[in-house]
Amino acid sequence: MIEFKDVGVRRDGRELFAGASFQLHPGHKVGLTGNNGTGKSTLFALLLTQMGKGETEVTLDRGEVSIPDSWHVAHMAQEVGASTQTAIDYVLSGDEQWYEINAALNDLSSVSDEQIGVLHQQFDEIDGYRTPTKAAQIMAGLGFNTNQHELPVEGFSGGWRMRLNLAKTLMSRADLMLLDEPTNHLDLDAILWLETWINAYTGLVIVISHDQAFLDATVGHILHVEQQKITLYTGNYQQFIRTRHERMAQQQQAFEKQQATKAHLDDFIRRFRAKASKAKQAQSRIKQLERMAELSPMMADNPFSFRFYEPANMSSPLIELTQADIGYSDTPLLYNANVQVTPDTRLGLLGMNGAGKSTLIKALVGELGILSGTYRVSDTLKLGYFNQHQMDILDAKATPIEMLRRLAGKTSDALLRSFLGSFDFRGDRIDTPSELFSGGERARLTLALIVWQRPNVLVLDEPTNHLDLQMRQALTIALQGFQGAVVLVSHDRELIANVCDELYLVHDGQIDEFDGDISDYGKWLAEKRKQENSQDKSSHKKKNKKESKKFVSRETADSQTSNKAPTVASKKKAAESALSKEEQRKQAAEQRKLTAPVRRDIENTEKVLAKIAEKLDTLEEKLADSTLYEDSRKSDLLVLLNEQTALQQQHSDHEEQLLLAMTTLEDMEAGFE
């Protein structure tokens, strides 16, 4: 077990926690909670330091931390560097024991015959032959398809690299697993899969998460950091909230009683201190006051308290898609879409990863033109659109109040500061450039700028990715009171359940009303995966065997080939014998002809992406010029920032086109087999 005894830690001269004492046992699933800045990441860093791991060393100010020497730890880091290593190889490297043995078996030049036998025995003991299959299953659960396994890590976006990092962490044979915001870059179906995985894990898990439903589904203990104290609660997050509120109410009562006692003692001392007959009693009261332990009042937990302004004008419908085909490069991803957004709309979009939810969102907001059908918007439409891209294009050099002033015109500073304070931008943070903000602060600022503009339609694509539990709660309350329309894509089930009145399912190119609630969607998803796994089992069996050969020793691979290949080879030979060589050549030529347009699309798109990347690199070099941010060059800066935004959007669109073309080619080639 892990035991903390009277532990105190300081960082940068500030005491983060003191007198921390608790025990965590194998098999526990623990949620680590607390406001931002209270020391959750420091606690992770302390555990890693104590186990001889991690890049940031944290030392004890006092106390003792006890962890078994034999324990191994796996930590999900928050950054993944670019690498030419393939995705599947990167994930497999999370199982260090398997990776080392497998590497040795694939390089036998310096290994004796006796050592080869030992390696094979060790490989068998750790069930090494099934490890590649386990890695593939984890990647599938997190949303990767098989044609992505051989792509280099550097070829994935930041969010997908984080998924790879999570997959690598889950591959570890660790006794202790530290997961820092594992759901941030996952969609709902991947989160549901991760919940199942964590519940089946036999080791100790400590997870930092702002997803209340995820914590409720996975943890049985809460470790809460607050006011330099760490308290261990039994139960999931809902139980923790109830227990903590009871404690806070008791604390408030004790505080009020103490304040009344203090007031009485102060009054006695003030009235009788100067009187000789009462001097001794007064001194006794003074000592009683000095001995009295200082209690804290129950403080309001949530620093965020904002609301959406009432929209100025509205008509119905505000946005309408009728019999619309939506996609890229004349190839639809969604067919015959019919979506109407009225002032009363509270719509949540559900669907598996890659089903087309973001494509539908882009069509609704006008970023992506439809291929056929009708797209109409009202003259009164005032759109509030939140997505990751909006956060990324915030003016890095501008402060929150400067960005808000650009929208607010002559509004007084006092009103602007009060408004920003409702999003917890206070004091120095109001005048801090946004380039120094965390992801959560950028998300809050983006929301604040949207709120100020009084939209009548809110289209929110994963708005909670960087928000903590308190801000999520404030956003939920604000959306419940919003008097306009809401279209929401989110992996936060609490947000969907509390905001959305209707759910649409995006699946198999169709958009249909979902008959059920968010919990029913989880059941639907589990059933759909079960069906797909059953259908694909036989077709994937041959492919998985082929891929697994590269991860076992050459000697083993040869033996497996000799034992299992004849069945496959005989089938292939029998099929080929039915065709003459001339017919085979004609068939191959016809297949090349049919796939040629798609291959050209892939090649051309890759060339365009390369050119856009070069332009973006050039722009970044220009934006690095410090003189560009002087007042006299504001117009030059604006031109470059607008150009950068346009290029980033082009790059994103072409990446989606490339993925679609690659999927199309794969499907065509599979049809020829």
CATH number, domain with residue 172: 3.40.50.300
How many C-beta neighbours within 10 Å does residue 551 have? 23
User: For position 556, what pLDDT does the model report?
Assistant: 36
Same-domain status, 40 and 132: yes
CA dist., res. 1 & res. 7, Å (int): 16
In a domain, 526, yes or no: no
Name the one residue in this structure whose structure tokens are 């949303």.
143
In a domain, 313, yes or no: no
User: For position 215, what pLDDT does the model report?
Assistant: 93
Same-domain status, 405 and 511: yes
Q: Please, are residues 101 and 119 in contact by the beta-carbon 8 Å criterion?
A: yes
User: For position 546, what pLDDT does the model report?
Assistant: 45
In a domain, 101, yes or no: no
Could you tell me the sign of the dihedral formed by the alpha carbons of 429, 430, 434, 435, in that order?
negative
User: For position 167, what pLDDT does the model report?
Assistant: 94
User: For position 285, what pLDDT does the model report?
Assistant: 62
Same-domain status, 615 and 504: no
User: For position 438, what pLDDT does the model report?
Assistant: 78
Same-domain status, 449 and 358: yes
Same-domain status, 455 and 344: yes
User: For position 536, what pLDDT does the model report?
Assistant: 54
* Selection from 537, 645, 538, 668 nearest residue 590 by Cα: 668
User: For position 321, what pLDDT does the model report?
Assistant: 95
Instruction: Identify any residues that bridge with 319 across adjacent strands, giving them in sequence order.
Output: 341, 377
User: For position 566, what pLDDT does the model report?
Assistant: 40
In a domain, 552, yes or no: no
Beta-strand ranges (E) seen in 464-501 are 485-489
Same-domain status, 184 and 58: yes
User: For position 302, what pLDDT does the model report?
Assistant: 59
Same-domain status, 604 and 498: no
In a domain, 557, yes or no: no
Among 236, 254, 284, which residue terminates a domain?
236
pLDDT < 50 stretches in the chain: 296, 298-300, 538, 540-578
Among 465, 497, 515, which residue terminates a domain?
515
Which residues, including other chains, have CB under 8 Å from residue 64's CB and lie 6 or more apart? 3, 4, 5, 6, 7
Same-domain status, 483 and 595: no
- Crossing angle of helices 158-170 and 131-141, rounded to 10°: 140
Same-domain status, 497 and 600: no
- For 478, the domain range is 319-515
2-11 and 62-66 beta bridge pairing: antiparallel
In a domain, 153, yes or no: yes
Among 515, 538, 571, which residue terminates a domain?
515
C-alpha distance across the termini of the chain, in Å: 54
Q: What is the pTM of this model?
A: 0.64
User: For position 31, what pLDDT does the model report?
Assistant: 95
In a domain, 169, yes or no: yes
Count of domains observed in the chain: 3
In a domain, 199, yes or no: yes
Which residues, including other chains, have CB under 8 Å from residue 422's CB and lie 6 or more apart? 304, 305, 306
* 435 backbone dihedrals φ, ψ, rounded to 5°: -65, -20
Same-domain status, 434 and 345: yes
Same-domain status, 507 and 594: no
Same-domain status, 612 and 509: no
